DNA sequence: CAGAAAACGCGTAATTTTAACACAAAACAA
DNA sequence: TTGTTTTGTGTTAAAATTACGCGTTTTCTG
């Protein structure tokens, strides 16, 4: 977000700066917690506060004689956001979805800034021992949300308006779970039923009966079954079956 | 979208132009059809084609010595979008929600343009005899969607990438119907049960049994009952009851 | 206006889905 | 080993969904 502040020529029709921010969700299988990736800001504004990873969109394009951007970029906002994430957090994010824009006046003290927010689903690699990005940190979502909820009126926990963004991202995740197989993008290819249940419980903030949950999942037919060496069973999403499940309109059976 | 093309000074860090487009849904009670408001473009590009109402955001702000926008706007993107709609279609839209951004390279042949898309829910006033905006037209949604679906590969019906936007808006409307009382924002304050059902059927593209639909709605308790002169009964949303319905987690009972 | 057709309100029964809980074998921890 | 937890497999009662029947009122149409 920094090297945007170099001097440049003024222009008559001011345009807002455009940035992207991303709520990266990950499911910590060992702690059985849904977490988000936050970054400690090293510079002002909000130096020392945690923030969502993101930054200014850098458009590589030329302007015509009127100052209008004419040369085609070779990427969309989404692709920009992906590239930024790669640069900033080292994550090669595949499952990323748009959340919405934030443009409240004054949200960025430096200049008028519109943020296009995303949320992404990644599998937290069990590479214990040191996170990649030095100042990046996986924080339990429920802790962040609780902190935000209990904040005194007018106070904020995260930098900028990231409190709102992360809250909205969680709600969206909860809702989209009804329509898309999002949970499976937070898990390794194969997983146990209890892990899947723990994840659903973490996302929806609800507890389910173990046996009813398993039956519902299995009856839906969207899971392939894989025995293991032990008596335990592993499962894997069958995407074709899921899509058929959607087509045949029985999706509401998977809503909890 | 027009008076943005006046010449102005170039700038080093090009920023994309930001526009808003809005899918305005309305329910035609006489025809029992869900419709969208489209505007015939009078100028290039896409002259003569239909498009979503919308246009460039005009930021009234001053820039500092570096050309950065520093003076606070007194409105957000959403408020901008509302104002634009008022100007362009005469609609004083209250129920408007963000849909997402579209920023595919080349989507606007004039310059790099990011669109923040919205969808709005209005009650079509039974002011028969001449639409307000001369070139604005209420078109049945199903006709638009069918036309788009059956288009040859690579061809488009509406201007720009508005085919995609309107399709996405319909999907979002279908989904949000599960979580918010959106249908009632398309109806007058009081309505008959069959009208409500016709609306649900139009949005979800599904047919329901008349008696089962009514029971489900009435059992939920979100409707207040009003007898009429005739034997028929009118209903009205009780927002408090709806919110309580949500809190007590019984919302899934209203999903069809 | 009269007869037909459609719309409306009220109801029942069969089926499916959900919710709550029992039990035993395997895995785990001390 | 022993007590505890986890996992797989049931059962049953309650609730919700689905598919209709029926008589009356309203609306349409010739």
Prior bond of B94 cis (ω within 30°): no
- Is the CB of B232 less than 7 A from some atom of nucleic acid strand D? yes
Contact B14 A63 (CB under 8 A): yes
- As a whole number of angstroms, the distance between CA B105 and CA A184 comes to 31
- As a whole number of angstroms, the distance between CA A182 and CA A198 comes to 14
- As a whole number of angstroms, the distance between CA B136 and CA B127 comes to 14
CB B142 within 8 A of CB B34: yes
Quick one: pLDDT at residue B254? 82
Quick one: pLDDT at residue A217? 95
CA distance A1 to chain B (A): 13
> How many Cβ contacts (< 8 angstroms) between chains A and B?
156
Residue B14 pLDDT > 60 = no
- Is the CB of A211 less than 7 A from some atom of nucleic acid strand D? yes
Helix (H) or strand (E) holding A176: helix A162-176
Distances (CA, A) of A164 to A26, B51, B155: 19, 32, 39
- As a whole number of angstroms, the distance between CA A226 and CA A45 comes to 51
Helix (H) or strand (E) holding A50: strand A50-51
pLDDT-wise least confident of A17-26, A129-138, B13-22, B102-111: A129-138
CA distance B225 to chain A (A): 29
Tell me whether residue A98 is exposed, middle or buried, using C-beta atoms within 10 angstroms of its C-beta: 0 to 12, 13 to 18, 19 or more.
buried
For helices B141-149 and B162-176, the axis angle rounded to 10 degrees is 120
In this complex, the residue with its CA at the shortest distance from the C1' of nucleotide D24 is B231
CB A59 within 8 A of CB A68: no
- Band of residue B7 on the pLDDT scale cut at 50, 70, 90: very low
CB A236 within 8 A of CB A222: no
CA distance B238 to chain A (A): 23
Reported for A79-85, long-range contacts at CB under 8 A and 24+ positions apart, including other chains, are: A80/A20, A81/A20, A81/A22, A81/A54, A81/A116, A81/A118, A84/A20, A84/A22, A84/A53, A84/A54, A84/A55, A84/A57, A85/A22, A85/A24, A85/A53, A85/A54, A85/A120
Quick one: pLDDT at residue A3? 38
In this complex, the residue with its CA at the shortest distance from the C1' of nucleotide D16 is B253
Of A8, A57, A179, which is closest to B67 when you measure between CB atoms?
A8
pLDDT digits (tens, 9 = 90+) for B49-97: 999 998 777 665 566 666 665 555 557 889 888 988 888 788 889 999 9
Of A59, A105, A249, which is closest to B112 when you measure between CB atoms?
A59
- As a whole number of angstroms, the distance between CA B229 and CA B214 comes to 20
CA-based nearest residue to B234, from B179, B188, B175? B188
Of B67, B73, B74, which is closest to A9 when you measure between CB atoms?
B67
Contact A112 B61 (CB under 8 A): yes
Prior bond of B45 cis (ω within 30°): yes
In this complex, the residue with its CA at the shortest distance from the C1' of nucleotide C16 is A253
Helix (H) or strand (E) holding B225: strand B223-227
Of A7, A14, A114, which is closest to B66 when you measure between CB atoms?
A7
* Residues within 7 Å (Cβ) of strand C: A 209, 211-212, 216, 230-232, 250, 253, 255; B 192-194, 210-212, 214, 231-233
pLDDT in tens, chain A (256 residues): 333 333 333 334 456 778 899 999 999 999 999 999 999 999 889 999 999 998 787 665 566 666 665 555 557 889 888 988 888 888 889 999 999 999 888 888 887 788 999 999 999 875 444 444 557 899 999 999 999 999 999 999 999 999 999 999 999 999 999 999 999 999 999 999 999 999 999 999 999 999 999 999 999 999 999 998 888 899 999 999 999 998 887 787 787 7
Three-state DSSP class for residue B89: helix
Of B11, B69, B98, which is closest to A112 when you measure between CB atoms?
B69
Helix (H) or strand (E) holding A24: strand A17-28
Spatial distance from the CA of B212 to the C1' of C15 (Å): 15
Kindly give, in sequence order, each residue whose CB lies less than 8 Å from that of residue A217, ignoring residues fewer than 6 positions away. A193, A196, A223, A235, A254
Angle among Cα B29, B31, B32 to the nearest 5 degrees reads 55
Written as six digits, the tokens of B213 are 């639909």
CB A183 within 8 A of CB A15: no
CA distance A79 to chain B (A): 10
Spatial distance from the CA of A215 to the C1' of D14 (Å): 18
Of A74, A103, A249, which is closest to B105 when you measure between CB atoms?
A74
Residue with tokens 């010449």: B7
CB B183 within 8 A of CB B104: no
Distance, CA of B100 to chain centre: 12
Query: In A, which residues are within 8 Å of B20 by CB distance?
Result: none
Residue with tokens 């949303």: B237
Spatial distance from the CA of B41 to the C1' of D30 (Å): 47
Quick one: pLDDT at residue A44? 84
Kindly give, in sequence order, each residue whose CB lies less than 8 Å from that of residue B119, ignoring residues fewer than 6 positions away. B22, B23, B24, B25, B96, B97, B99, B169, B172, B173
- As a whole number of angstroms, the distance between CA A42 and CA A49 comes to 8
Residue B238 pLDDT > 70 = yes
Strands (E), A95-205: 95-102, 113-122, 136-140, 191-192
CB B19 within 8 A of CB B116: yes
- Is the CB of A193 less than 7 A from some atom of nucleic acid strand D? yes
- Band of residue B3 on the pLDDT scale cut at 50, 70, 90: very low
Strand C positions closer than 7 A to protein CB: 7-12, 17-22, 26-27
pTM, two decimal places: 0.90
Residue with tokens 């309305």: B26
Query: Which residue in A103, A118, A171, A174 has the most chain B C-beta atoms within 10 A of its own C-beta, making it the best mutation to test that interface?
Result: A103
Quick one: pLDDT at residue A52? 96
- As a whole number of angstroms, the distance between CA A98 and CA A79 comes to 11
Query: In B, which residues are within 8 Å of A57 by CB distance?
Result: 16
Please compute the mean of the pLDDT values over residues B19-33 and round it to a whole number: 94
pLDDT digits (tens, 9 = 90+) for B129-187: 444 455 789 999 999 999 999 999 999 999 999 999 999 999 999 999 999 999 999 99
Contact A67 B4 (CB under 8 A): no
Quick one: pLDDT at residue B8? 33
Q: In chain A, how many H helices and how many E strands?
A: 6, 10
By CA distance, what is B113's nearest residue in A?
A: A69
CA distance A49 to chain B (A): 23
Strands (E), B11-112: 17-28, 33-40, 50-51, 54-56, 95-102
Spatial distance from the CA of B193 to the C1' of D27 (Å): 17
Helix (H) or strand (E) holding B159: none
CA distance A208 to chain B (A): 14
Query: Which residue in B2, B6, B10 has the most chain A C-beta atoms within 10 A of its own C-beta, making it the best mutation to test that interface?
Result: B10
Kindly give, in sequence order, each residue whose CB lies less than 8 Å from that of residue B91, ignoring residues fewer than 6 positions away. B24, B37, B85, B120, B122
Written as six digits, the tokens of A29 are 């299988």
The nt closest to A254 (CA vs C1′) is C17
């Amino acid at each position: 977000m920094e090297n945007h502040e170099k001097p440049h020529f003024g222009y008559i029709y001011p345009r807002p700066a455009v940035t992207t921010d991303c709520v990266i969700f990950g499911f910590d299988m060992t702690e059985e917690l849904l977490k988000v990736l936050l970054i400690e800001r090293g510079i002002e504004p909000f130096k020392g506060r945690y923030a969502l990873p993101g930054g200014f969109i850098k458009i590589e394009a030329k302007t015509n004689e009127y100052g209008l951007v004419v040369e085609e970029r070779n990427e969309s906002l989404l692709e920009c956001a992906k590239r930024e994430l790669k640069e900033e957090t080292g994550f090669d994010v595949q499952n990323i979805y748009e959340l919405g824009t934030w443009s409240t006046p004054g949200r960025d003290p430096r200049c008028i800034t519109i943020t296009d927010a995303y949320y992404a689903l990644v599998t937290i690699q069990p590479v214990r021992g040191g996170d990649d990005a030095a100042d990046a940190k996986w924080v339990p979502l429920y802790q962040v949300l609780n902190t935000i909820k209990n904040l005194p009126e007018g106070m904020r926990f995260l930098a900028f308006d990231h409190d709102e963004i992360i809250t909205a991202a969680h709600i969206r995740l909860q809702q989209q779970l009804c329509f898309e197989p999002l949970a499976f993008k937070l898990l390794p290819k194969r997983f146990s039923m209890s892990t899947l249940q723990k994840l659903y419980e973490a996302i929806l903030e609800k507890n389910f009966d173990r046996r009813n949950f398993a039956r519902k999942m299995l009856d839906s037919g969207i899971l392939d079954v894989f025995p293991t060496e032990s008596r335990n069973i592993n499962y894997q999403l069958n995407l074709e079956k899921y899509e058929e499940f959607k087509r045949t309109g029985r999706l509401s059976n998977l809503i909890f």
